Chain A
Amino acid sequence: MNNIVVAENLSRSFGRTEALKEASFAIGEKRCIALLGPNGAGKTTTLSILAGLLEPSSGNLKTSGELSGDRRQWMGFLPQQPAFFGWMTGRETVMTAGRLCGLSATEAARRSEELLEAAGLKDAAHRPVAGYSGGMKQRLGLAQAVIHRPRLLLLDEPVSALDPIGRRDVLEMLAVWKQEMTILLSTHVLHDAEQICDELILMNKGQVVMQGEMEQLRQAAGKPFLRVVAEESENASRWIAGLRDLPEALKVEEERNQCRIETDDMDALRDKVLRSALDQGVKLRTFEVGRKSLEIWFMEALRT
């Protein structure tokens, strides 16, 4: 995998508070990476350093060879509270952003129309930004941040302040864009990260706790399990007691009319359990396949 940015031992302090302590991580190409951590973990500081708004007190950033020079040229950034000139219209905002990023006037105009359409702001494009709602501003912020087709898009809490509909809109836009560029977004909500990100960088108290693929972390978080609940009867109790003997069952917790089975081979286990339930005429009430959630793992990781 190609890394476009590698951070080595980044530190930054504001006066006496150390916002970031020796953070090291790598950002690969065409991925969606979540910078996850509770408030005050150093996420915004990390993003500001990457965007070039802050200088690190120590440590350095290495960018891949082909991307030498001013990194602002191939980066897009959206801060936590996107700020725009209230007197500009939506279209002017996106146009100005494009022109400042070095696009020609015609190219900027073409991209603006495209992005305003994608952001659902076509009808509001001629209105001053001062009258936009929070969700509209966020979508406008996203549109203007990608106008120059950046290789790396940095988003600080892009969905935290949005209502469910605004959140869905933004996540949908990001899902499309992550095929073209790397997206690094910070969030304190694991659920948002799980929805679109491939990779996770977990931060706490200014330090990087761990970095890894979302799927790997999910695997590491715990084995998949099957939970069944049957309607109470003698038959059902006998059936549940018998599940213990299935060869796929690694660990079984049972309790009268319900049980929870951990396994490595979910497909085989699911088949057998369903079939035997039908054969023996057991009335199932719940049949659930799951995994120990990252949420629990996340809480544990932060505590240590």
Chain B
Amino acid sequence: MKVYGVLLVKELREALRTGKLIWLPAVFVLLGLIQPISAKFMPDIIAAAGSLPEGAMIQIPIPKPGEVLGQTLSQFGTIGVLAICLAYMGTISGEKRNGTAAWILVKPVARLAYVASKWTALCLIVGFAFLLGYGGAWYYTNLLIGVADAATVAVSGFLYFAWLVFVGTVTIAASAWIRSPAGAAFSAFGFAIVLQIVRGLFENRLSWLPSGLNNAAIAGLAAGETPSWAVAASVTAVCVMALITIAVKGANAARL
């Protein structure tokens, strides 16, 4: 337990010094701000572009606050997820390759503590980034468009955060087993995209997939009422635990 704390401090310090704690939140904040601003000013932007014939009438309805936040989450679902995969693609394989994993594991450190500290750091850092990005989106939506229902916003935020943590956990597990960081990032990102697509194709039967959380979050914001997500959340929790176990198995210091 003590060792876990020491490793967690190390992870967070590393994230701070290598800039991960700066650029990952920056990506989310940028994505979070673009959506409400562009939703509000889209008519002006199009008008200013000036390539329209004289007298053209454009009617772009300004979306509802919940819809804007939902669109923000969709943005997070592509670029945000990619950023997370890139941030964590080498978290174990990199340390294995340069020997720092061995440096840690020749000391009386349980492999679970090693992986768990990385996972906790992931939750905290992704949580921080997501909080800033989503919070920023919510603030600007309130300012520019209208007040969204706080309870729905909170529930959706939580569900979406769980989905992001799931993707991050997949990346950690992949980096424990796949030697090349790019390979790990690609596998995790591809897996996340496939899950989302499959969930979209078989909407009725596969709502229990972890990507169901993502859909529930976005649908909840659009409709103002969150569809049931308990099953998807339980499945995600089980998957996260299984992935951590897989990562622990792969996190031996021996060369790949």
Kindly state whether residue B249 has any CB partner on chain A within 8 Å: no
Return chain B residues, CB-CB under 8 Å to A92: 13
Return chain B residues, CB-CB under 8 Å to A88: 10, 13
CB closest chain-A residue, reference B103: A83
Are B107 and A100 in contact, CB atoms less than 8 angstroms apart?
Answer: yes
Return chain B residues, CB-CB under 8 Å to A99: 2-3, 6
User: What are the interface flags for A205-225 relative to B under an 8 Å C-beta threshold, 1 for contact and 0 otherwise?
Assistant: 000000000000000000000
Are A53 and B2 in contact, CB atoms less than 8 angstroms apart?
Answer: no
Q: How far is the CB of B97 from chain A (nearest CB, A)?
A: 9
Once bound together, how far apart are the Cα atoms of A96 and B104, in whole Å?
9
Return chain B residues, CB-CB under 8 Å to A81: 99
Return chain B residues, CB-CB under 8 Å to A77: 106
Return chain A residues, CB-CB under 8 Å to B45: none
Once bound together, how far apart are the Cα atoms of A172 and B6, in whole Å?
32
Are A72 and B103 in contact, CB atoms less than 8 angstroms apart?
Answer: no
Are B108 and A51 in contact, CB atoms less than 8 angstroms apart?
Answer: no
Contact of B108 among A54, A70, A85, A96 (CB under 8 A): A70
Are B102 and A102 in contact, CB atoms less than 8 angstroms apart?
Answer: no
CB closest chain-A residue, reference B113: A100
Kindly state whether residue B176 has any CB partner on chain A within 8 Å: no
User: What are the interface flags for A72-102 relative to B under an 8 Å C-beta threshold, 1 for contact and 0 otherwise?
Assistant: 1101010101111101100010001101111
Kindly state whether residue A120 has any CB partner on chain B within 8 Å: no
Are B98 and A83 in contact, CB atoms less than 8 angstroms apart?
Answer: yes
Are B254 and A73 in contact, CB atoms less than 8 angstroms apart?
Answer: no
Once bound together, how far apart are the Cα atoms of A92 and B12, in whole Å?
14
User: What are the interface flags for B184-197 relative to A under an 8 Å C-beta threshold, 1 for contact and 0 otherwise?
Assistant: 00000000000000
Are B7 and A79 in contact, CB atoms less than 8 angstroms apart?
Answer: no
User: What are the interface flags for B85-118 relative to A under an 8 Å C-beta threshold, 1 for contact and 0 otherwise?
Assistant: 0000000000000111011111111000000000
Are B106 and A52 in contact, CB atoms less than 8 angstroms apart?
Answer: yes
Most chain-B CB neighbours within 10 Å: which of A77, A83, A88? A83
Q: How far is the CB of B90 from chain A (nearest CB, A)?
A: 13
Once bound together, how far apart are the Cα atoms of A303 and B104, in whole Å?
39
Size class of A's contact patch?
Answer: 20 to 34
Known pairs A83-B102, A102-B108; A54 contacts B254 (CB<8 A):
yes
Kindly state whether residue B121 has any CB partner on chain A within 8 Å: no
Are B106 and A96 in contact, CB atoms less than 8 angstroms apart?
Answer: no
How many residues from B make CB contacts under 8 Å with A? 22
Contact of A97 among B99, B105, B107, B254 (CB under 8 A): B107
Return chain B residues, CB-CB under 8 Å to A96: 6, 10
Return chain A residues, CB-CB under 8 Å to B106: 51-53, 72, 75, 77
Kindly state whether residue B253 has any CB partner on chain A within 8 Å: yes
Kindly state whether residue B17 has any CB partner on chain A within 8 Å: yes
Q: How far is the CB of A115 from chain B (nearest CB, A)?
A: 15
Known pairs A53-B253, A83-B100, A100-B6; A73 contacts B108 (CB<8 A):
yes
Return chain B residues, CB-CB under 8 Å to A51: 106
Known pairs A54-B254, A100-B6, A102-B2; A87 contacts B108 (CB<8 A):
no
Are B105 and A53 in contact, CB atoms less than 8 angstroms apart?
Answer: yes
Are A100 and B100 in contact, CB atoms less than 8 angstroms apart?
Answer: no
CB closest chain-B residue, reference A52: B106
Contact of B14 among A52, A54, A73, A85 (CB under 8 A): A85
Are B2 and A87 in contact, CB atoms less than 8 angstroms apart?
Answer: no
Return chain A residues, CB-CB under 8 Å to B13: 87-88, 92
Kindly state whether residue B204 has any CB partner on chain A within 8 Å: no
Q: How far is the CB of B240 from chain A (nearest CB, A)?
A: 25
CB closest chain-B residue, reference A83: B99
Kindly state whether residue B59 has any CB partner on chain A within 8 Å: no
Known pairs A72-B108, A77-B106; A100 contacts B99 (CB<8 A):
no
Once bound together, how far apart are the Cα atoms of A81 and B99, in whole Å?
8
Are B10 and A87 in contact, CB atoms less than 8 angstroms apart?
Answer: no
Most chain-A CB neighbours within 10 Å: which of B100, B104, B107, B254? B107
Kindly state whether residue B18 has any CB partner on chain A within 8 Å: yes
Are A100 and B254 in contact, CB atoms less than 8 angstroms apart?
Answer: no
Once bound together, how far apart are the Cα atoms of A72 and B113, in whole Å?
15
Once bound together, how far apart are the Cα atoms of A17 and B14, in whole Å?
38
Contact of A53 among B3, B6, B102, B108 (CB under 8 A): B102
CB closest chain-B residue, reference A141: B103
Q: How far is the CB of A106 from chain B (nearest CB, A)?
A: 14
Are A101 and B100 in contact, CB atoms less than 8 angstroms apart?
Answer: no
Return chain A residues, CB-CB under 8 Å to B100: 83-85
Once bound together, how far apart are the Cα atoms of A54 and B102, in whole Å?
11
Once bound together, how far apart are the Cα atoms of A81 and B106, in whole Å?
14
User: Contacts A52-B106, A83-B103, A102-B108 given; 13 further ones with Cβ under 8 A?
Assistant: A72-B108, A72-B109, A79-B102, A79-B103, A82-B99, A83-B98, A84-B103, A85-B14, A87-B14, A88-B13, A99-B3, A100-B109, A101-B107
Report, nearest first, the 7 A-B pairs whose CB atoms are least far apart: A83-B99, A87-B17, A99-B6, A100-B107, A72-B108, A77-B106, A73-B108
Task: Give B residues with C-beta under 8 Å from A.
Answer: 2-3, 6-7, 10, 13-14, 17-18, 98-100, 102-109, 253-254
